[in-house]
Amino acid sequence: MKPITKNPRKLPDVVGAVARQGDVLLTRIATGSAAVGDEVPRDSKSGCVLALGEATGHHHHVPKSSARLFRAKTGDDRILTLKEGAKLLHEEHYPIYLPPGDYRVEIQREYSPMELRNVAD
């Protein structure tokens, strides 16, 4: 599939701003307010990968070299830290421009009688 190359949507530069790209939800949080754990290793080609698509192999990622992704100390969320503005990219979605700051990264879940599980992309 050909990547979408239109101009990115721009997330407002305010705490509490929310952006959704497919099954990934980003919420702007106050810089330094989240308790973070280990840093998630960067992919050599894609940078910070927020979610991998099990079905398509596509992925939500921020290629900017200054972007860093951490596991939250509690729960399954992760924290994305941007020292400078960056684009959130995916092969099947419009890019989203993210201003510098910290973002809580949540992956959409679906209900199954057996378990809660991440949505397959």
Profile the chain (121 residues) by mean pLDDT over runs of 10 residues.
Answer: 54 84 90 87 88 76 90 86 92 88 85 57 50
Residue 4, pLDDT score = 43
Instruction: Report the predicted TM-score, pTM, of the whole model to 2 decimal places.
Output: 0.79
CA 47 to chain centre: 11
Residue 79, pLDDT score = 93
Instruction: In whole angstroms, give the CA distance from residue 10 to residue 52.
Output: 23
Place of tokens 């201003």: 99
47, 39 contact by CB (below 8 A): no
Residue 86, pLDDT score = 92
